[in-house]
Amino acid sequence: MLRINNFLHREKFSDLTRRWLHNQWRPADLPLLKELINYNSLWLARINREITHWLFSNLAQQTIHTRKVETKGELKDLLVQNPPYVNDRILHLIERYHRYPERYFRETPFLGAVYAFQRDGKPAYLGSSRIKRVRRIAEKGSRRIIDYIHTQLGARANVETQAAQGSWQQPWSVASEALIDEFERAERKLSAELQHGDLFDSHLEFVIEDVLGIKVVVEPEQRRDVYELIEQDPRCEWVEIEHHRGHYNATNLVIRYFPDREKLLAPPLSPEALERLKLRGMDPAAAQQAFHRFVSTGEPSIHIELILTHYEEVLESEIGRSMHEERLLRQRKQQSYRGHLARNVSYLMEYIFAWGISPRTTISQLPIQVWNQYLPDYFDEVIKHLFQIPSFRELE
């Protein structure tokens, strides 16, 4: 179902998400899900450190400084600090950023790292890396599944009704009563298929490639250097190259990366990692051996996304015309289908990832069945229960 090509044991995760969407969970899924979320996070962090050191050191040909950051404001501050060149647009963007910092989503969580080198005696932005937060993975996966559900609703609608209305895709603000009735009948049909476990077959997959993403700032004439580094390294294989042109400009590369598992597994898990695993309902005493087994029995490679862009474009994507946070808000507004099935898919996907990082270790049933009707208030309570957050109640 949801196939994350940056994960190990991705077939297991895909199968689990398909079954949970049909409410076909198993008790054995619970410890498995903890491992899939947390051990993949640990493994991606080790791979990220290895590949970013190799990549940025080779590109800069000097010592690279790495700084962990927790908010986008830290990244944006470094980005505008020492530009490699200036023009009227760059000067305008930087001046406006300094004048109105409150407009730039500076508090956005960004659990990643920025990479800098010395230019004219000052730190200069070279790139960044991040591992998507579980909520963002859940949101992206939900969007793929919801788009599929929308097409399935159209397929189950009465063909004559669609033809009479001109298009199943028209805005609901102008939809006729007959089309709305047909839409609701299609929802009921699809809900019944979900209940019977018939909607998502075992071969259906929605692929995510960018849980681990690395952004590299290189001018167009330097991109050949990146391509050659990848082509010459036996750990890397090309998977895909995609060029984005228009409002947002960048080249996205997906590579298949074969890490040296023995080398990366050699360091023990840190005390901080063991403490986090304990807080997430896992046994820290067994974690070292379990982590080794998880990696050793997983796939030999994962996919990594590289985003190549030049300085002015990365500036536009962080504080300019294609600011990432504004693009994200537009994506949320433009979702094609917003009915109760869509809401419940979002709830369940968030619950799956939240379960993995929560302290809970048992459940008696899934609290979300996709075909049911829920208010957002209910899901708020589900998440509070997961993390043992007290609900608001009267004192007496």
CA–CA gap between residue 139 and residue 83 (Å, rounded): 34
pLDDT at 346: 96
Question: Tokens in use for 223?
Answer: 């991109």
Give the pLDDT score at 173: 46
Question: Under 8 Å CB-to-CB from 222, ≥6 apart: which residues?
Answer: 59
Q: Is residue 234 part of a domain?
A: no
The amino acid that residue 158 corresponds to is N
Task: Identify the pLDDT of residue 163.
Answer: 45
> Does 317 fall in a domain?
no
Residue type, position 219, single letter: E
Q: Show the domain range for 192.
A: 136-202+334-386
- The per-residue pLDDT for 185 is 86
Q: Would residue 374 count as lying in a domain?
A: yes
Domain contains 243: no
State the DSSP string of 122-142.
EEEEEEEEEE--HHHHHHHHH
Work out how many domains the chain is built from and give that number.
1
Instruction: Quote the tokens at residue 263.
Output: 């080398």
Domain-embedded: residue 169: yes
Best CA proximity match to 13, nearest among 380, 367, 299: 299
- For residues 307 and 252, is the Cβ–Cβ distance under 8 A? yes
Question: Using an 8 Å Cβ cutoff, are 235 and 223 in contact?
Answer: no
Round to whole Å and give the CA distance between 279 and 43.
Answer: 19
Query: What is the pLDDT at residue 138?
Result: 95
pLDDT at position 43 is 98
**How many residues make up the chain in this entry?**
396
DSSP per position, 326-345: HHHHHHHHT-S--SHHHHHH
Block means of pLDDT (10 residues each) for the chain, 396 residues, are 96 96 95 98 96 93 91 95 95 97 94 91 92 93 93 72 48 60 85 88 92 93 91 95 84 95 97 97 97 98 96 94 89 81 95 96 95 94 93 65
Report the b/e string of 246-263 with b at 16+ CB within 10 A: eeebbbbbbbbbebebee
pLDDT of residue 395: 56
Q: Are 285 and 277 a contacting pair, CB within 8 Å? A: no
**Which residues are paired to 207 by β-bridges?**
3
Q: What is the rounded distance in angstroms from the CA atom of residue 256 to the CA atom of residue 198?
A: 33
pTM: 0.91
Of 21, 39, 55, the residue nearest 191 (C-alpha): 21
Closest CA to 259 of 65, 58, 98, 50: 50
- Please report whether residue 307 resides in a domain: no
Q: Is 138 within 8 Å of 353 (Cβ atoms)?
A: yes
Q: What's the confidence (pLDDT) of residue 169?
A: 52
390, burial (CB in 10 Å: exposed 0-12, middle 13-18, buried 19+): exposed
Flag whether 31 is in a domain: no
Residue in this structure with the two tokens 């890490």, named with its chain if needed: 259
Q: Which helix (H) or strand (E) holds 150?
A: helix 134-156
Residue 106 lies in a domain: no
